[in-house]
Amino acid sequence: MALPRVLSVIGAGQMGIGIALVASLRAKIPIILLYDRDPSQITKGLEFMDKLLAKDVSKGKTSEEDAKAAREKIISITSSSASSSTLNNDEFGWARELGERGSDMVVEAASERLSIKEGIFRALAKNLSKDAVLASNTSSISITKLAGAAVEGLGSSISKASEEGKSCAGRVVGVHFFNPVPVMKLCEVIPGLQTTEKTLERAKAFAVACGKEVSKSKDVPGFVSNALLMPFLNEAIMCLESGTATRDDIDKTLRLGMGHPMGPLQLADFIGLDTCLAIQETLYEGTHDSKYRPSVLLGRMVDAGWLGKKSGKGFYEY
């Protein structure tokens, strides 16, 4: 299965930067376009990538020549038309540029919010080649919904049940990488109801080329990974909230008693408490099952801006 010649990555946070890095360094994709609506985030993300590459070189995992070549293949894309106020409009200069530059696969790694991702997929479907794979790195949001949004990007005259609508939706797929992307060995691939077998195989081939093992999940809230992980983290937060045990004792119990590399509260900090809350809300809204109800404490911490490691404070201080 042929790999993309021009890969676009939407979002220059930790996940987007990690995906761009493994695509360049491991999969050897010739051209990688990196877009974020915040230019400063691209600068910050690329600085982080440079540190990762330098660390690999210092440890002998990568040669200086390979690191330099990987970095040079990544091209930054910016556009003032992608402000949050125009997110749901179809005037996306960045999407047009990705199309004009010949993107034949896109991996969206934006914030874990349905409205944001739907806006992106509408723009991508309208502006990219009809053969381009439209992939999302979502960890919980329905691929079927994103595929439906992609069809909406073609205009109101195109029915989702028409041949053109089905063809457009058929190229949408989930490729859920794990954080940190260069280290974690798995990529969870998720087909929506409309995803074609060809799209699924192209997504799998890309993940394998990036050096990942592949698992496949049905398009259900949270897929396999977060349908299991997030309730576990949420329950640990509820234990803290109810006073069942202290932060340190909760994490110690799972580290030393269950052999986990880190405790659930520390892991939640590393994931990002805002991300944990968004996924937990998706699980709850998608199933209406009370076992997925987010912890009140988790919501309060996000309200306070205590988002974990990335903000400097969560259950721990950094």
- Eight-state DSSP code of residue 254: I
The span from the CA of 255 to the CA of 248, in Å, is 10
Which of 176, 217, 234, 295 is labelled catalytic? 176
The span from the CA of 137 to the CA of 14, in Å, is 12
Distances (CA, A) of 6 to 170, 211, 213, 316: 20, 18, 23, 40
Q: Which of 177, 276, 178 is nearest to 235 (CA)?
A: 276
Q: Are 103 and 132 in contact (CB under 8 A)?
A: yes
Which of 142, 226, 234, 295 is labelled catalytic? 226
For the four alpha carbons of 263, 264, 268 and 269, in that order, the dihedral sign comes to: negative
Q: Are 53 and 67 in contact (CB under 8 A)?
A: yes
164: annotated active-site residue: no
159: annotated active-site residue: no
Half-sphere exposure of 214 (CA within 13 A, CB side): 18
Given the DSSP bridges, would you call strands 172-177 and 186-191 parallel, antiparallel or unpaired? antiparallel
Query: Helices then strands (H, E): number in the chain?
Result: 14, 8
Q: Are 314 and 273 in contact (CB under 8 A)?
A: yes
Sheet harboring 31-35: ordered strands across? 74-77, 31-35, 6-10, 105-108, 133-136, 172-177, 186-191, 213-216
288: annotated active-site residue: no
Which of 24, 103, 136, 139 is labelled catalytic? 139
The span from the CA of 290 to the CA of 280, in Å, is 11
127: annotated active-site residue: no
Which of 97, 118, 152, 188 is labelled catalytic? 188
Catalytic residues: 139, 176, 188, 226
